[in-house]
Amino acid sequence: MVSSIALLFLVLFLTSSARSFADDFIFSGFKRASNLSLDGSARVTNDGTIQLTNETRRVMGHAFFSSPVRLLDNQHGSSSALSFSTIFVFDIITIGTGSGHGLAFVMSPSKTLPQADSGPYLGLFGAGNNGNSSNHVFAVEFDTAYIPGMFNETNGNHVGIDINSIISNISTPAGYYSNDSNKKVDLDLKMGKPIQAWIDYSANTRVLNVAIAPLSVPKPGRPLVSYTIDLSPIFKEYMYVGFSASTGKLVSSHYILGWSFRTDGIAAPLDISQLSIPQPPSASSSSNSSSKALAIKIGDITFIATLIVVGTAISIFFYLKQRAKLAETLEDWELDHPHRFRYKDLYKATKGFKETELLGRGGFGQVFKGVIKDTGEEVAVKKISNNTRQGIREFIAEIASLGRMRHRHLVELKGWCKRNEDLLLVYEFMPEGSLDTLLFDGKTSATLSWQQRFKILKGVAAGILYLHEEWEQVVVHRDIKASNVLLDSAMNARIGDFGLARLHEHGTNPHTTHVVGTLGYMSPELSRTGKPTTSSDVFAFGALLLEVACGRRPIEPDAPPMQLNLVDWVTECWARGELLGAADPRLGKFYDGEEMELVLKLGLVCCQSAPEVRPSMRRVIRYLNGDENLADDVSLVFSERESVNLASGDSCNSSCGIISTSSLNKGR
C-alpha cells in the first residue's frame, strides 16, 4: 500500500515537473485584449479582429503576444525545444484581381523583426538578413503571391515552413485532406472566407504538422504538411509568438479572428461562434454626389473658400509653432545607436507629459504612461533631467546595448531618446504597477497573498540570474528594490529601471566608482570601495526577501530603535528562536511556514556584511526551488571565527560581524 502511494506521488511529481514550463493562452476575439503588441499597419478593429494589413501598397503589420514564452528546456545540461501547439483563424480579403502577399505565424526572439521588409518578405526578413542563422526566426507562411524562380514557392497559393529565411524549407499548395475520403481538397487562401489553421510540434518525435481547413470542416486527421526538424538550434530560451503580413504592388487585408496557443500540450480549441467575421469593404461611390455639388450657390462657394483659407492659415501657424516646440537637433553619434524614439512621438504618446499620465516620480526622474500612436502599444516613459554630468554618450551606448536583452522577468527596455538635457527611457508598460505600491500603499484593496509573494521573489531571482550570468555580458543592476519590481497583468515579476545598470565582460571587474543605490538595499562594502558587483545585487535581493516576508521596509525611520534596521530586527528574532514572529502580520496564519522560514533565513544569508560569503544568484534560486537545503550549507556560508554571538547580548547591524553557526541553529 505504501509503495503504491509513493508511486502515485512520484507520477504526480513528474507530471507537474513536465508541466512547469507550460505557457498557454486563448483569444476568442481581440476586442478587450490588453496583452498584444502591434506595429506597422496592424490594428484591432471595432469588431475585435486583428487587421494586419489594409488596402495600402507596400506595408507590413505585426501582432505579437506581449510576453515571451519559454521554448527551450535547459534543465539537463543541453538545450532542447519544447513541444508547442497553436490554433488560429485567419481571413484574407482581396478587392479586385490579384492579391499580396500573405501572412505568417512567426516565432522570434524580438517583437521588432530587424531589417524586415514588405512584399514577398511577408514582414519577416529583408534582403540584408534573409538566410542568416543569427535570425533565430521560425515561421509558417500562408503565401498568396508567386514569384517564378524565387523563394522555393510551388504556386501563388501555398503553405511553407520558413527557417531564418523566406526561402521555404518545404512548400506545398494550400488544401486539406478530407476525413471521409482522405483525398486532398484544394483551398483558396484568398477566398475571402475564414480558414482555421493548426500547427503542432512534438519535441519527442521532432515532427512539425500543419493543417488548414474552412471553418465548417473539423481538424483533418492527415496534416497538409508533416516535416521532420529539430527546432532546438533555432529557438532561444524565450521567444515571442505572433503573426506577420505584408502587401506589395498588389494588396489584401489580412485578418486574425481568434488564436489559441500552448507549450507542452495541445492548444485549447476555439469557440467559432464567438468570432467576428470581417466584411469586405463596400464600393463607396454615389452617382448623384457630383450633381449635388453643382447645386451649391456661388455665394456659398465663396464663403466656404474664405473659411478654408483662414482655417488653413491658422492651422499652418499652430503647426509651425508646435513643430518648433518639438524640434530636436541630433548629434552625429546619436545616429549610431539603435532603439531611438523621436521626441515628438513620445510627446504625443504621453499627451505632452501631462500630469494625468504621471505614474510616479523618484530621485532620477518622472515616469509617464504613454500610448504609441502608430501601434497602439502602451509604454512607460521615464524622463531623466539634467543628466549632462553622467557621461551621456557612454550612458546611451549602454542603454542601446541593454535594449537587446529579453527575459520574461525583465521589463523590456524598448528604447531611448535624448533632447537637450533630458534623457527619456521607454519601457514596456506594467499594468499592475510596482511591488512597493502593492505592499505599502494603503489604497490597495487587498493584501498580496503569500503564494503571490513567493512567486514574485522567485521571478525576481530568475531575472537577476539572467543579468549576472546568462546574458552575453555581466549586468550589475545596482538598484534592486521593491519599487523597481513591476508586475504584469498575470502578477509575474519583472525587474525594471536599468537607468543605473552597468555592463562589463564576464570574468572582469566593473570599473565604475560612482556610488548609487537606495538606503537599506546598499551593501556595506559600497561605502568603502564604491564598486558595485553582482554580490552587492545579492545583498539588495536579500533586503527585498526580508521586506516581502515581513511587510516592512529595510529602513523604518519612525520605528523603535531595535526595529529601525530590518536586517537587525529579523536577526534578533532568529537569535531568540522566534523567527516566524517576523512574518507580515497582515498574512495572519495564511502562509507556508517552511517557505516563510526559508525566505527569512535566506534574506539574512544574502545580507551578510562580507561579500565573499554571500551566495551567488544561481545558488539562491536552488534554495528557493528546494534543490539545495540552506541548513546543509550553513557551515560553508558562515565563519565561526568571525561570528558575533547575538544570544549573549552583543549588538550587530548589517555592516558588522557575521552571524554565528550556533545562532543559526538556535533560531531554527
Strand 378-384 to 422-428 pairing: antiparallel
* CA–CA distances in Å: residue 338 to residues 397, 399, 402, 403, 624: 9, 10, 11, 9, 37
DSSP code of residue 340: B
Q: Within 13 Å, how many C-alpha atoms sit on residue 50's CB side? A: 33
Torsion sign across C-alpha atoms 636, 642, 646, 648: positive
Query: What distance in Å separates the CA atoms of residue 614 and residue 535, rounded to the nearest whole number?
Result: 7
pTM: 0.54
Task: Assess contact for 87 and 269: CB atoms under 8 A.
Answer: yes
State CA 410 to chain mean position distance: 7
Q: What are phi and psi of 153, to 5 degrees?
A: -95, 140
pLDDT digits (tens, 9 = 90+) for 566-579: 999 999 999 999 99
Instruction: Give the distance, in angstroms, between the CA of residue 293 and the centroid of all CA atoms in the same chain.
Output: 53
Tell whether the model's pLDDT for residue 148 goes beyond 70: no
Mean pLDDT of 460-475: 92
pLDDT tens column, 344-367:
899 999 999 999 999 887 656 789
CA end-to-end span of the chain: 34
Q: What angle do CA 484, 490, 495 make, to 5 degrees?
A: 20
Per-residue confidence band for 20, with pLDDT thresholds at 50, 70 and 90: very low
More confident residue, 609 or 497: 609
> Does 383 belong to an annotated binding site?
yes
Q: Residue 460 corresponds to which cell in the numbers above?
A: 525576481
Closest by CA to 125, choosing from 149, 153, 143, 106, is: 106
Q: Which of 473-482, 541-550, 611-620 has the lowest mean pLDDT?
A: 473-482
pLDDT band at 385 (very low <50, low <70, confident <90, very high): low
Q: Which of 177-186, 212-221, 239-248, 318-327 has the lowest mean pLDDT?
A: 318-327
By DSSP bridging, strand 413-419 and strand 485-487 are: unpaired
Tell me what percent of the residues of the chain surpass a pLDDT of 70.
Answer: 76
Counting beta carbons within 10 angstroms of the beta carbon of residue 657, is it exposed (0 to 12), middle (13 to 18) or buried (19 or more)? middle
Under the banding of pLDDT at 50, 70 and 90, the label for residue 109 is: very high
Cβ neighbours of residue 219 closer than 8 Å, sequence gap 6 or more: 196, 198, 211, 213
pLDDT band at 472 (very low <50, low <70, confident <90, very high): confident
Q: For 630-663, how does the pLDDT look when each residue is reduced to its tens digit (9 = 90+)?
A: 875 544 434 433 443 333 334 333 333 344 333 3
pLDDT score at 206: 96
Mean pLDDT across the chain: 81
For the chain, the residue count is 668
**Across 621-625, average pLDDT:** 95
Instruction: Report the DSSP beta bridge partners of residue 172.
Output: 159
H helix runs in 466-555, sequence order:
526-529, 534-550
Query: How does DSSP assign 73-124, residue by residue?
Result: E-TTSS-EEPPEEEEEEEEEE--SS----EEEEEEES-SS-TT--SGGGTTT
> Which residue bears the cell 509651425?
320
Q: Is 479 a catalytic residue?
A: yes
- For residues 190-195, give the mean pLDDT: 92
The Cα–Cα gap between 536 and 653 comes to: 17
Looking at residues 449-471, what average pLDDT do you find? 95
What's the CA dihedral at 343, 349, 351, 357 to 10 degrees?
A: -120
Kindly tell me if the per-residue pLDDT of 3 is higher than 50: no
Share of the chain above pLDDT 90, in %: 52
Closest CA to 551 of 588, 518, 519: 588
Task: Map residue 43 onto helix, strand or coil.
Answer: strand
Reduced to 3 states, what is the DSSP secondary structure of residue 424? strand
User: Residue 31's beta-bridge partner residues?
Assistant: none
Q: Which residue has the higher pLDDT, 544 or 657?
A: 544
Give the chain's domains with CATH numbers.
20-274 (2.60.120.200), 332-428 (3.30.200.20), 435-666 (1.10.510.10)
Find out whether 453 and 549 touch, Cβ atoms under 8 Å.
yes
Tens digit of each residue's pLDDT (9 = 90 or more) over 29-57: 998 888 899 999 999 999 999 999 998 88
Phi then psi dihedrals of residue 598, to 5 deg: -60, -45
pLDDT tens-digit profile of 114-141? Answer: 889 998 899 999 888 898 999 999 999 9
Instruction: Using alpha carbons, list the distances in angstroms from residue 249 to 56, 90, 177, 246.
Output: 9, 22, 33, 10
Q: What phi, psi does 642 have (nearest 5°)?
A: -100, 10
Mode of pairing for the β-strands spanning 378-384 and 50-53:
unpaired
User: Please, are residues 415 and 402 in contact by the beta-carbon 8 Å criterion?
Assistant: no
**Which of 458, 459, 500, 457 has its CA nearest to residue 477?**
500
| Cell of residue 466, nine digits | 539572467
Cα(2)–Cα(353) distance, integer angstroms: 66
Candidate list 479, 488, 497, 537, residue with the active-site label: 479
Cis peptide before 468 (omega within 30 of 0): no
H or E segment at 242?
A: strand 238-246
**CA 346, CA 561: separation in Å to the nearest integer?**
46
Gap between the Cα atoms of 203 and 237, Å rounded: 14
128 grid coordinates: 540584408
Confidence of residue 322 (pLDDT cuts 50, 70, 90): low
What span, in angstroms and rounded, lies between the C-alpha atoms of 635 and 637? Answer: 6
Hey, is 580 helix, strand or coil?
Answer: helix
